[in-house]
Amino acid sequence: MVKKKKPILYPNKSIIKGALRRTFSRTPIVREVLEASVHPTKKGIRGGKQYVCAKCNEAFPGKNVQIDHIKDVIDLIPMKHISYDMLVTNLFCPKENLQVLCKTCHDEKTKVARELRKEFKKLFKYFVYETRNKVNGKRYRGVHGCVDLDDGYLGSGVLLKKAIKKYGVENFERTILFIHTSRELAYLKEKELVTMSIVKSGEFYNLKEGGIGGELSESTKTKISKTKTGTMIGENNPHYGKTHSEEVRRKIGDRPYLTGKDHPAAKSVECVETGEISDTASSTGYTGLASAIKNGTMLHGYHWRYVENHIPVELKDTKPGFRPVRCIDTGEVFKSLTDAANNVGLTQGSKIGDVCRGIRKTAKGCKWEFV
Protein backbone atom coordinates (compact mmCIF):
# COMPACT_ATOMS: atom_id res chain seq x y z
CA MET A 1 0.00 0.00 0.00
CA VAL A 2 1.20 3.45 -0.85
CA LYS A 3 0.73 5.72 2.09
CA LYS A 4 -0.24 9.20 1.00
CA LYS A 5 1.71 11.48 3.18
CA LYS A 6 2.51 15.15 2.99
CA PRO A 7 6.13 15.67 2.06
CA ILE A 8 8.06 17.26 4.88
CA LEU A 9 10.03 20.25 3.74
CA TYR A 10 13.12 21.22 5.64
CA PRO A 11 13.92 23.17 7.74
CA ASN A 12 10.67 22.25 9.47
CA LYS A 13 9.91 24.51 12.42
CA SER A 14 8.06 21.91 14.49
CA ILE A 15 10.89 19.44 14.10
CA ILE A 16 13.43 22.04 15.19
CA LYS A 17 11.14 22.98 18.06
CA GLY A 18 11.07 19.33 19.13
CA ALA A 19 14.85 19.14 19.02
CA LEU A 20 15.12 22.29 21.12
CA ARG A 21 12.65 20.85 23.62
CA ARG A 22 14.73 17.70 23.96
CA THR A 23 17.85 19.78 24.54
CA PHE A 24 16.01 21.83 27.12
CA SER A 25 14.83 18.70 28.96
CA ARG A 26 18.48 17.86 29.68
CA THR A 27 19.39 21.22 31.23
CA PRO A 28 20.26 21.50 34.94
CA ILE A 29 17.31 23.81 35.55
CA VAL A 30 14.92 21.01 34.61
CA ARG A 31 16.61 18.65 37.03
CA GLU A 32 16.43 21.34 39.69
CA VAL A 33 12.69 21.79 39.24
CA LEU A 34 12.19 18.03 39.27
CA GLU A 35 14.27 17.66 42.46
CA ALA A 36 12.23 20.38 44.13
CA SER A 37 9.04 18.42 43.52
CA VAL A 38 10.24 15.19 45.13
CA HIS A 39 7.80 13.94 47.74
CA PRO A 40 9.48 14.20 51.18
CA THR A 41 8.48 10.77 52.40
CA LYS A 42 6.64 8.81 49.75
CA LYS A 43 8.73 6.24 47.84
CA GLY A 44 7.98 3.96 44.88
CA ILE A 45 7.65 0.18 45.12
CA ARG A 46 11.37 -0.26 44.63
CA GLY A 47 12.19 2.73 46.83
CA GLY A 48 12.49 5.20 43.95
CA LYS A 49 11.69 8.89 44.23
CA GLN A 50 8.14 10.12 43.76
CA TYR A 51 7.35 13.51 42.24
CA VAL A 52 4.37 15.66 43.16
CA CYS A 53 2.15 16.96 40.35
CA ALA A 54 1.59 20.70 40.77
CA LYS A 55 -2.00 20.38 39.66
CA CYS A 56 -3.52 17.27 41.23
CA ASN A 57 -0.97 17.07 44.06
CA GLU A 58 -0.60 13.31 43.67
CA ALA A 59 2.82 11.65 43.73
CA PHE A 60 4.11 9.82 40.65
CA PRO A 61 7.27 7.97 39.62
CA GLY A 62 9.68 9.95 37.44
CA LYS A 63 8.56 8.35 34.19
CA ASN A 64 5.02 9.62 34.73
CA VAL A 65 5.76 13.27 35.27
CA GLN A 66 6.69 16.00 32.81
CA ILE A 67 8.08 19.48 33.03
CA ASP A 68 5.52 22.03 32.00
CA HIS A 69 5.95 25.70 31.05
CA ILE A 70 3.36 27.53 33.14
CA LYS A 71 3.13 30.20 30.46
CA ASP A 72 3.18 28.18 27.28
CA VAL A 73 6.25 28.30 25.03
CA ILE A 74 4.38 29.31 21.90
CA ASP A 75 1.40 30.86 23.66
CA LEU A 76 -1.45 31.72 21.31
CA ILE A 77 0.60 33.25 18.57
CA PRO A 78 0.59 31.16 15.39
CA MET A 79 3.82 29.21 15.05
CA LYS A 80 4.76 31.02 11.85
CA HIS A 81 5.07 34.30 13.74
CA ILE A 82 7.42 32.87 16.31
CA SER A 83 11.05 33.48 15.55
CA TYR A 84 13.64 30.96 16.63
CA ASP A 85 14.96 33.62 19.03
CA MET A 86 11.60 33.89 20.72
CA LEU A 87 11.23 30.13 20.77
CA VAL A 88 14.57 29.67 22.52
CA THR A 89 13.92 32.50 24.99
CA ASN A 90 10.50 31.13 25.91
CA LEU A 91 11.68 27.55 26.10
CA PHE A 92 14.77 28.21 28.21
CA CYS A 93 12.81 30.27 30.69
CA PRO A 94 13.50 31.01 34.37
CA LYS A 95 12.53 28.19 36.72
CA GLU A 96 9.63 30.24 38.12
CA ASN A 97 7.80 29.46 34.89
CA LEU A 98 8.33 25.73 35.24
CA GLN A 99 6.31 23.15 37.10
CA VAL A 100 6.04 19.38 37.38
CA LEU A 101 2.83 17.87 36.08
CA CYS A 102 1.71 14.28 35.89
CA LYS A 103 1.08 12.98 32.37
CA THR A 104 -2.71 13.19 32.72
CA CYS A 105 -2.67 16.78 33.93
CA HIS A 106 -0.10 17.75 31.29
CA ASP A 107 -2.06 16.15 28.45
CA GLU A 108 -5.17 17.94 29.61
CA LYS A 109 -3.38 21.29 29.65
CA THR A 110 -1.88 20.69 26.21
CA LYS A 111 -5.26 19.75 24.80
CA VAL A 112 -6.90 22.90 26.11
CA ALA A 113 -4.03 25.02 24.79
CA ARG A 114 -4.31 23.41 21.37
CA GLU A 115 -8.05 24.14 21.20
CA LEU A 116 -7.45 27.73 22.24
CA ARG A 117 -4.76 28.14 19.63
CA LYS A 118 -7.10 26.76 16.99
CA GLU A 119 -9.79 29.26 17.93
CA PHE A 120 -7.27 32.05 18.02
CA LYS A 121 -5.98 31.13 14.58
CA LYS A 122 -9.49 31.45 13.16
CA LEU A 123 -9.67 34.97 14.53
CA PHE A 124 -6.27 35.93 13.21
CA LYS A 125 -6.48 38.16 10.17
CA TYR A 126 -3.97 39.68 7.82
CA PHE A 127 -4.58 42.98 6.21
CA VAL A 128 -2.99 45.31 3.78
CA TYR A 129 -3.18 48.82 5.18
CA GLU A 130 -2.29 52.31 4.22
CA THR A 131 -1.07 54.82 6.78
CA ARG A 132 -1.38 58.45 5.75
CA ASN A 133 0.35 61.49 7.10
CA LYS A 134 -2.46 64.01 7.49
CA VAL A 135 -0.04 66.93 7.30
CA ASN A 136 1.74 66.22 4.03
CA GLY A 137 -0.29 63.39 2.54
CA LYS A 138 2.65 60.99 2.37
CA ARG A 139 1.63 57.37 2.71
CA TYR A 140 2.90 53.96 3.74
CA ARG A 141 1.52 50.59 2.71
CA GLY A 142 2.18 47.33 4.50
CA VAL A 143 0.85 44.01 5.77
CA HIS A 144 -0.13 43.41 9.36
CA GLY A 145 -1.45 40.35 11.14
CA CYS A 146 -3.59 40.60 14.26
CA VAL A 147 -6.83 39.59 15.96
CA ASP A 148 -7.96 43.08 16.87
CA LEU A 149 -8.26 45.19 13.75
CA ASP A 150 -8.23 48.33 15.88
CA ASP A 151 -4.89 47.65 17.47
CA GLY A 152 -3.57 51.03 16.40
CA TYR A 153 -0.65 49.61 14.44
CA LEU A 154 0.60 52.22 11.98
CA GLY A 155 3.50 50.39 10.38
CA SER A 156 7.13 49.63 10.92
CA GLY A 157 8.90 51.22 7.99
CA VAL A 158 12.06 53.11 8.94
CA LEU A 159 11.00 56.34 7.25
CA LEU A 160 7.47 56.03 8.58
CA LYS A 161 8.70 55.62 12.13
CA LYS A 162 10.88 58.71 11.80
CA ALA A 163 7.93 60.64 10.41
CA ILE A 164 5.66 59.51 13.26
CA LYS A 165 8.28 60.76 15.69
CA LYS A 166 8.45 64.08 13.88
CA TYR A 167 4.75 64.73 13.29
CA GLY A 168 3.21 62.78 16.18
CA VAL A 169 0.90 59.76 16.13
CA GLU A 170 -2.19 61.97 16.06
CA ASN A 171 -1.24 63.18 12.60
CA PHE A 172 -1.43 59.74 11.05
CA GLU A 173 -4.42 57.70 10.05
CA ARG A 174 -4.51 54.10 8.99
CA THR A 175 -6.95 52.67 6.48
CA ILE A 176 -7.39 48.96 5.93
CA LEU A 177 -7.34 48.27 2.21
CA PHE A 178 -7.82 44.51 2.11
CA ILE A 179 -8.40 41.85 4.74
CA HIS A 180 -7.20 38.30 4.14
CA THR A 181 -7.33 35.14 6.19
CA SER A 182 -3.99 34.03 4.82
CA ARG A 183 -0.70 35.78 5.23
CA GLU A 184 0.45 34.72 1.79
CA LEU A 185 -2.52 36.29 0.05
CA ALA A 186 -1.99 39.49 2.00
CA TYR A 187 1.61 39.65 0.83
CA LEU A 188 0.56 38.96 -2.74
CA LYS A 189 -1.79 41.92 -2.48
CA GLU A 190 0.98 44.03 -0.98
CA LYS A 191 3.16 43.08 -3.91
CA GLU A 192 0.51 44.50 -6.23
CA LEU A 193 0.10 47.65 -4.19
CA VAL A 194 3.69 48.47 -3.37
CA THR A 195 5.41 48.55 -6.73
CA MET A 196 8.79 49.95 -7.64
CA SER A 197 7.15 53.02 -9.17
CA ILE A 198 5.41 53.71 -5.86
CA VAL A 199 8.68 53.33 -3.98
CA LYS A 200 10.36 55.75 -6.37
CA SER A 201 7.46 58.22 -6.50
CA GLY A 202 8.48 60.04 -3.33
CA GLU A 203 4.85 59.97 -2.19
CA PHE A 204 5.32 56.91 -0.03
CA TYR A 205 7.41 56.02 3.00
CA ASN A 206 8.00 52.54 1.57
CA LEU A 207 11.63 51.81 0.83
CA LYS A 208 11.20 48.55 -0.99
CA GLU A 209 8.69 46.73 -3.08
CA GLY A 210 5.97 44.79 -1.33
CA GLY A 211 5.50 41.09 -1.07
CA ILE A 212 9.03 40.06 -0.24
CA GLY A 213 8.76 40.59 3.49
CA GLY A 214 6.86 37.39 3.99
CA GLU A 215 8.72 34.20 4.54
CA LEU A 216 6.21 31.39 4.16
CA SER A 217 5.80 28.80 6.82
CA GLU A 218 6.64 25.29 5.75
CA SER A 219 3.11 24.01 6.25
CA THR A 220 1.71 26.80 4.13
CA LYS A 221 4.29 26.14 1.45
CA THR A 222 3.17 22.54 1.43
CA LYS A 223 -0.47 23.61 1.27
CA ILE A 224 0.15 26.01 -1.58
CA SER A 225 2.29 23.45 -3.35
CA LYS A 226 -0.40 20.78 -3.01
CA THR A 227 -3.11 22.93 -4.53
CA LYS A 228 -0.95 24.20 -7.34
CA THR A 229 1.16 21.16 -8.06
CA GLY A 230 1.19 20.41 -11.71
CA THR A 231 -0.72 23.47 -12.83
CA MET A 232 2.22 24.92 -14.68
CA ILE A 233 4.23 21.91 -15.69
CA GLY A 234 4.30 20.00 -18.93
CA GLU A 235 1.58 20.89 -21.41
CA ASN A 236 0.13 23.42 -19.03
CA ASN A 237 3.29 25.44 -19.01
CA PRO A 238 3.02 28.35 -21.43
CA HIS A 239 6.48 27.47 -22.61
CA TYR A 240 5.67 23.82 -23.32
CA GLY A 241 7.01 22.63 -26.63
CA LYS A 242 8.69 25.95 -27.34
CA THR A 243 12.39 26.50 -27.44
CA HIS A 244 14.39 29.67 -27.18
CA SER A 245 15.98 31.20 -30.20
CA GLU A 246 19.65 30.59 -30.77
CA GLU A 247 20.42 34.13 -29.61
CA VAL A 248 18.58 33.81 -26.29
CA ARG A 249 20.26 30.50 -25.65
CA ARG A 250 23.67 32.00 -26.30
CA LYS A 251 22.87 34.84 -23.89
CA ILE A 252 21.87 32.36 -21.23
CA GLY A 253 25.03 30.41 -21.75
CA ASP A 254 27.23 33.48 -21.73
CA ARG A 255 25.95 34.84 -18.45
CA PRO A 256 28.81 35.74 -16.13
CA TYR A 257 29.16 34.23 -12.71
CA LEU A 258 27.98 36.63 -10.06
CA THR A 259 29.55 37.57 -6.78
CA GLY A 260 28.80 39.75 -3.72
CA LYS A 261 25.33 41.22 -3.44
CA ASP A 262 24.61 40.01 -6.94
CA HIS A 263 25.41 36.49 -5.90
CA PRO A 264 22.42 34.22 -6.47
CA ALA A 265 22.27 33.27 -2.80
CA ALA A 266 21.69 36.90 -1.80
CA LYS A 267 18.81 37.52 -4.21
CA SER A 268 15.10 37.04 -3.67
CA VAL A 269 13.73 33.96 -5.36
CA GLU A 270 10.27 33.06 -6.49
CA CYS A 271 8.69 29.69 -7.12
CA VAL A 272 7.40 29.74 -10.70
CA GLU A 273 4.49 27.44 -9.97
CA THR A 274 3.29 28.75 -6.62
CA GLY A 275 4.55 32.32 -6.75
CA GLU A 276 5.89 32.03 -3.24
CA ILE A 277 8.77 34.37 -2.56
CA SER A 278 11.81 33.96 -0.31
CA ASP A 279 14.01 36.86 0.71
CA THR A 280 17.13 35.06 -0.40
CA ALA A 281 17.88 31.83 -2.15
CA SER A 282 19.63 30.63 0.97
CA SER A 283 16.61 31.30 3.19
CA THR A 284 14.66 28.63 1.30
CA GLY A 285 16.99 26.08 2.84
CA TYR A 286 17.29 24.33 -0.52
CA THR A 287 20.69 23.56 -1.89
CA GLY A 288 21.29 23.73 -5.59
CA LEU A 289 18.74 26.47 -6.10
CA ALA A 290 21.09 28.72 -8.07
CA SER A 291 21.93 26.04 -10.58
CA ALA A 292 18.29 25.00 -10.85
CA ILE A 293 17.43 28.62 -11.66
CA LYS A 294 20.29 28.92 -14.11
CA ASN A 295 19.42 25.70 -15.91
CA GLY A 296 15.66 25.97 -15.63
CA THR A 297 15.50 22.56 -13.99
CA MET A 298 13.20 21.60 -11.16
CA LEU A 299 14.15 21.56 -7.52
CA HIS A 300 11.88 19.88 -4.98
CA GLY A 301 9.27 19.55 -7.69
CA TYR A 302 9.20 23.20 -8.72
CA HIS A 303 10.83 25.70 -11.00
CA TRP A 304 12.40 28.78 -9.51
CA ARG A 305 13.52 32.19 -10.68
CA TYR A 306 14.93 35.38 -9.29
CA VAL A 307 12.38 38.01 -8.42
CA GLU A 308 14.44 40.80 -9.95
CA ASN A 309 16.31 40.73 -13.26
CA HIS A 310 15.59 37.12 -13.86
CA ILE A 311 16.85 35.93 -17.18
CA PRO A 312 14.30 33.78 -18.96
CA VAL A 313 15.42 30.20 -19.33
CA GLU A 314 13.68 27.22 -20.78
CA LEU A 315 11.96 25.39 -17.92
CA LYS A 316 12.79 21.70 -17.93
CA ASP A 317 11.67 18.78 -15.89
CA THR A 318 14.47 17.26 -13.88
CA LYS A 319 16.53 14.48 -15.36
CA PRO A 320 15.77 11.85 -16.52
CA GLY A 321 13.10 13.77 -18.34
CA PHE A 322 9.39 13.90 -18.04
CA ARG A 323 8.63 10.20 -17.75
CA PRO A 324 5.41 8.91 -16.25
CA VAL A 325 5.88 6.22 -13.60
CA ARG A 326 3.64 3.50 -12.26
CA CYS A 327 3.55 2.13 -8.75
CA ILE A 328 3.51 -1.63 -9.42
CA ASP A 329 1.90 -2.37 -6.05
CA THR A 330 -1.10 -0.09 -6.47
CA GLY A 331 -1.16 0.37 -10.24
CA GLU A 332 -1.33 4.13 -9.76
CA VAL A 333 0.32 6.13 -12.54
CA PHE A 334 2.00 9.48 -11.95
CA LYS A 335 3.04 11.91 -14.66
CA SER A 336 6.55 12.31 -13.36
CA LEU A 337 9.00 11.01 -10.80
CA THR A 338 8.54 14.19 -8.81
CA ASP A 339 4.78 13.87 -8.89
CA ALA A 340 5.04 10.28 -7.66
CA ALA A 341 7.49 11.31 -4.96
CA ASN A 342 5.22 14.09 -3.74
CA ASN A 343 2.33 11.68 -3.55
CA VAL A 344 4.07 9.15 -1.38
CA GLY A 345 5.81 11.66 0.85
CA LEU A 346 9.29 11.74 -0.65
CA THR A 347 10.92 15.09 -1.32
CA GLN A 348 12.66 13.92 -4.45
CA GLY A 349 11.92 11.46 -7.17
CA SER A 350 15.43 10.05 -7.29
CA LYS A 351 14.73 6.95 -5.17
CA ILE A 352 11.72 6.04 -7.29
CA GLY A 353 13.83 6.67 -10.37
CA ASP A 354 16.47 4.31 -9.03
CA VAL A 355 13.83 1.59 -8.61
CA CYS A 356 12.64 2.11 -12.18
CA ARG A 357 16.23 1.80 -13.39
CA GLY A 358 16.79 -1.36 -11.36
CA ILE A 359 19.37 0.20 -9.07
CA ARG A 360 17.12 -0.06 -6.04
CA LYS A 361 14.51 -2.60 -5.01
CA THR A 362 11.81 -0.39 -3.50
CA ALA A 363 11.05 3.22 -2.69
CA LYS A 364 8.61 3.95 0.13
CA GLY A 365 7.98 0.20 0.30
CA CYS A 366 6.79 -0.02 -3.30
CA LYS A 367 8.08 -1.27 -6.63
CA TRP A 368 8.07 1.23 -9.48
CA GLU A 369 8.43 1.23 -13.25
CA PHE A 370 8.52 3.76 -16.02
CA VAL A 371 5.35 3.65 -18.09
Q: Which residues contribute to the site for Zn ion (CB under 5 A)?
A: 53, 55-56, 102, 105
**Smallest distance, Zn ion to C-beta of residue 56, A:** 3
Q: Cis link prior to 324 (omega < 30° from 0)?
A: no
Q: Taking the complex as a whole, how short is the minimal distance between the CB of residue 98 and Zn ion, in angstroms?
A: 15
Nearer to Zn ion, 112 or 149 (CB): 112
Any idea what DSSP says for residue 260?
Answer: G
Distance CA 66, CA 62 (A): 8
CB-nearer residue toward Zn ion: 50 or 318: 50
Contacts of 2 by beta carbon, 8 Å cutoff, 6+ apart: 327, 329, 330, 332, 343, 344, 364, 365, 366
Nearer to Zn ion, 100 or 224 (CB): 100
Minimum distance from residue 52 beta carbon to Zn ion (Å): 9
Please, what is the minimum distance in Å from the beta carbon of residue 33 to Zn ion?
Answer: 15
Q: Which residues contact 80 (CB under 8 A, 6 or more apart)?
A: 13, 183, 216, 217, 219, 220
- Give whichever of 56 and 196 is closer to Zn ion, judged by the CB atom: 56
- Least separation in angstroms between residue 39's CB and Zn ion is 13
Three-class DSSP category at 269: strand
Cβ closest to Zn ion, residue 4 vs residue 103: 103
Distance CA 86, CA 284 (A): 20
- The identity of residue 155, as a single letter, is G
